[in-house]
Amino acid sequence: MSADRASGHGAATALSLGAVFAIWWGATASGLITPLFLPGPGDVALRLIDLAQHGFVGATLLQHTGASLARVGLAMLFAVITAVPVGMAMGLYPRINAAIDPLIEFYRPVPPLAYLPLMVIWFGIGELTKILLIYLAIFAPLAIATASGVRRVDPNRIRAAQSLGASRDQIAWLVIFPSALPDILTGLRIALGVGWSTLVAAELVAATRGLGFMVQSASQMLVTDVVVAGIFVIALIALLIELVLRWVERRFAGWASAG
Amino acid sequence: MPTLSVDRVSLTYRSKRGPVAALADVSLAVASGEIVVALGASGCGKSTLLGLMAGFLKPSGGAVTVDGVPVSGPGTDRAVVFQDDALMPWLSAEDNVAFGLQMRGVAQAERRAAARDMLAQVGLAGCASHAIHEMSGGMRQRVGLARALAVKPDFLLMDEPLGALDELTRERMQMLVLNLWQTSGKGIFLITHSIEEALFLSTRLVLLSPRPGRIVQRYDTGFARRFIAGEPVRTIKADPDFLAMRDDLSSAILANAAEDAIDVG
């Protein structure tokens, strides 16, 4: 891509963001839309500072954010520990794939909100249900991405390792896993996007902290500026997660895109 | 002096249209210090033959043995060099070369020293920390060669190792292969579809016919030894003997291809 083209893209992005911001500011400052419906950018910015200093519904913005990140982080940790080996096994052994794939494909298209009530009945309204919900959302795309990455490994690479004396375990973890890593990391990036969106749903259930809970409570109390500020924070964190994972992909799987 | 023997080997695999004979009744032997080249057009089963010798495939009939012991699978006594290099692109050049030593549990410092030594032998001194994706096709094949030699195999099996290289790089690599052959004293089995390469890189040459692969002619060739004795590559490849054998092989390949076409028609 030429520098000209790149700066052209930057200009288009700035223009569209600027336009939305201008319409938002114009519509609220002129009194066309009441603050109850949509507070202006200034009010939201002030509310963000207030949220950081004094908090809302019993916790500061940092504490809400921390609670949400901890849930997604734990869910991701468990998902990586389980989905990567399961996906490896699915990719390596067609029989295991035949056994597990239908289960994953059965629940994957179901929106998490649809099975949340069942999980509440089974696991109560504590942390377990929330983390499990996010875990399930992350597990499916991660396992599927891992399995497909494993299936795409160049067979000659495996043969080369065999004739260099690698054992089955060495081939699995020193050849197949790194070969599939680019696909695994792409899967993780997509999975975390899904996981973060599921968070809000998970926090609707009797949470006392968390960004989803904060937005939900604010909505019930008609504190619209907190709702908008919360949405901004949720979007910002999603963006940060995306950027961090793109960096991880470049750092640990840069060879795949380097041709 | 170990010998890798292929004794009356055939391989038939099942396809949707029924059984397909890839190889029929192939016998050959590769001893240390020899370069045996299998020459044939695409689809003559020469890669299948190499796969059987490497232990990636099991023969339907006959046996592959090393000094009389049947080959039961891939092993470090028979290192393989692939056309598509089959390197680990996430590892540096030296870690690729050291891969086989790592599998044996050799300590990192020791195996890296051995890898650098091997890289120097293939003309890549100073490229130890290079990433694979930064290297040209010729450099990658040198890494592949170094990786195979690093495990100190008895035999080197080369599956069209120079097939993807440009003409100039190819000739330099041919000379490298011969020099490594001489210094290491390994038995080499190499497959190619280039007649010139087959002649230049062999002490013995077998010509395979297409589907099912059968050995239709065997030649003793002296050109590899003449190169080692100091004769320049250009002189050898322009030698009347070389050109005569090249024509002879061309005709033989054409004749077999025609027979094959008649069989099919």
Looking at the structure, tell me whether residues A1 and A81 fall in a common domain: no
Number of residues assigned to chain A: 259
Residue A145 sits in the same domain as residue A114: yes
C-alpha B100/C-alpha B119 separation (Å) is 14
Residue B265 or residue A98, greater confidence: A98
- Which residue has tokens 């391989």? B11
Q: Helices in chain B by DSSP H: which ranges?
A: 46-54, 93-97, 99-103, 108-121, 137-150, 167-184, 195-200, 223-228, 233-238, 240-264
Has residue B258 got a pLDDT over 70?
A: no
pLDDT of the residue at A258? 63
Q: B80 to chain A: which residues are within 8 Å by CB?
A: 159-160, 163
B151 at A interface, C-beta within 8 A: yes
Sign of the four-CA dihedral A100, A103, A106, A108: negative
Tokens standing for residue B165: 């290289």
Residue A216 vs residues A65, A110, A115, A210, A257: alpha-carbon distances, Å: 14, 22, 19, 10, 41
pLDDT tens string B23-44: 989 999 999 999 999 998 877 7
What are the tokens at A197?
A: 């969106």
Same domain, A14 and A137: no
Q: Are A158 and A98 in contact (CB under 8 A)?
A: no
Q: pLDDT, tens digit, for every residue of B127-137? A: 888 999 889 88
pLDDT score, position B216: 87
pLDDT at site B109: 93
Amino acid identity of B33? G
What is the structure's pLDDT at B67?
Answer: 92
Query: What is the percentage of chain A residues whose pLDDT exceeds 70?
Result: 97
Amino acid at B176: L
Is the per-residue pLDDT at B260 higher than 60?
Answer: no
Where does A108-209 have alpha helices with state H? 112-123, 127-151, 155-163, 168-171, 177-202
User: Parallel, antiparallel, or unpaired: how do β-strands B61-66 and B69-70 relate?
Assistant: antiparallel
Task: Write out the residue range of the structural domain in which residue A246 sits.
Answer: 34-257
Looking at the fold, whether A138 and A181 belong to one and the same domain comes out as yes
Q: What are phi and psi of A62, to 5 degrees?
A: -65, -40
Question: Per residue in A25-78, pLDDT tens?
Answer: 999 999 888 888 899 999 999 999 999 999 998 899 999 999 999 999 999 999
Q: Is the peptide bond before B212 cis (omega within 30 degrees of 0)?
A: yes
Please state the length of chain B.
265
Check whether residue A1 and residue A70 sit in a common domain: no
The pLDDT of residue B263? 46
The answer on A85 and A71 residing in a single domain is: yes
Phi, psi of B159 (to 5 degrees): -95, 90
Residue B128: other Cβ atoms inside 10 A: 17
The token pair at A136 is 């399930």
**A8 and A89: one domain?**
no
Angle at B195 between CA B226 and CA B162, to 5 degrees: 85
Q: Superfamily assignment of B3-77+153-264 in CATH? A: P-loop containing nucleotide triphosphate hydrolases (3.40.50.300)
**pLDDT value for B54:** 94
Q: Find residue B9's DSSP bridge partners.
A: B26
Question: What integer pLDDT is reported at residue B45 of this predicted model?
Answer: 85
Helices (H) and strands (E) in chain B, counts: 10, 10
Pairwise CA distance, residues A91 & A81, whole Å: 16
Interface test with A, best of B4, B48, B56, B96 (most A CBs within 10 A): B56
Q: Which pLDDT score, from 0 to 100, does residue A102 have?
A: 94
**At CB < 8 A and 24+ separation, what contacts does A80-86 make?**
A80/A142, A80/A188, A82/A139, A83/A138, A83/A139, A83/A140, A83/A142, A83/A143, A83/A146, A84/A142, A84/A143, A84/A146, A84/A177, A84/A184, A86/A143, A86/A146
Our count of domains for chain A comes to: 2
Residue B168 has pLDDT above 90, yes or no: no
Size of interface A-B (CB pairs under 8 A): 69
B58 interface with A at CB cutoff 8 Å: no
Burial class of residue B93 in the structure, from the number of CB atoms within 10 Å of its CB (0-12 exposed, 13-18 middle, 19+ buried): buried
Q: Does A181 touch chain B (CB under 8 A)?
A: yes
Q: What is the pLDDT of residues A224-252, one digit of tens each?
A: 999 999 999 999 999 999 999 999 998 88
Hey, what are A219's tokens?
């909505």
Specify whether A13 is located in the same domain as A78: no
Q: What is the pLDDT of residue A247?
A: 93
Please indicate, yes or no, whether residues A6 and A45 belong to a single structural domain of this protein: no
Domain ranges of chain B: 3-77+153-264
Contact B89 A256 (CB under 8 A): yes
B157 — pLDDT class (breaks 50, 70, 90): very high
Query: What mean pLDDT do residues A100-125 have?
Result: 90
Per residue in B206-221, pLDDT (tens digit) is 999 887 888 888 999 9
Mean pLDDT of B68-79: 92
The two tokens of residue B196 are 């010139």
A21, A130: one domain: no
Residues A123 and A246 in one domain: yes
Please state, for a pLDDT cut of 90, what percent of chain A lies above it.
73
Closest-CA distance, A159 to chain B, in angstroms, reads 7
Taking 80 as the threshold, does the pLDDT of residue B158 lie above it?
yes
Mean pLDDT of B161-185: 89
pLDDT at A237: 93
The nearest CA of chain A is from the CA of B262 a distance in Å of: 34
Read off the pLDDT of residues A131-186 as tens digits, 9 standing for 90 and up: 999 999 999 999 999 999 999 999 999 999 999 999 999 999 999 999 999 999 99
In this predicted structure, what is the pLDDT of residue B259?
58
Instruction: Write the ipTM.
Output: 0.89
Tell whether A119 and A17 lie within a shared domain: no
Q: Report pLDDT digits (tens) over B228-245.
A: 999 899 999 999 999 999
Provide the whole-model pTM.
0.85
Q: Does A55 touch chain B (CB under 8 A)?
A: no
d(CA A234, CA A239): 9
Reply yes or no on whether the pLDDT at B86 is more than 50.
Answer: yes
- The helix/strand/coil state of A180 is helix
